[in-house]
Amino acid sequence: MRTKTRGEWLAHFSGVDACLTPVLAPTAIANDSSGAKTAGGEPGAVEDRPHAAPALGADTDAVLDAAGIDATRRAALRRAHVI
């Protein structure tokens, strides 16, 4: 990788069926023209401050509800120490 610049590698692999994406610092994303996107999918959007991860289990009910597991079944799973 040291033999070429990032731009040279991107040009070299353009048109090739290969998974190649530059690794950029968050502050560099806004100025990048390679099409890099943030995790939210917005080009150049940079978070202005970090966010703490949700507490363990904070999303459990929402995820299980989306999977079709109702509150009664979730309560039974909790009693059985499954979740």
pLDDT in tens, 22-47: 887 777 777 766 655 555 555 545 55
Q: For residues 12 and 50, what is the distance between their CA atoms, to the nearest angstrom?
A: 35
Domains: count for the chain: 2
Compute the C-alpha angle 30/51/49, nearest 5°.
45
The residue with greater pLDDT, 59 or 29, is: 59
**In whole numbers, what is the pLDDT of the chain averaged over residues?**
81
Model confidence band, residue 75 (pLDDT cutoffs 50, 70, 90): very high
Q: Which domain holds residue 77?
A: 52-83
State whether 59 and 43 are in the same domain.
Answer: no
State whether 58 and 47 are in the same domain.
Answer: no
State whether 46 and 56 are in the same domain.
Answer: no
pLDDT recorded at residue 48: 56
State whether 18 and 44 are in the same domain.
Answer: yes
State whether 14 and 47 are in the same domain.
Answer: yes
pLDDT recorded at residue 42: 55
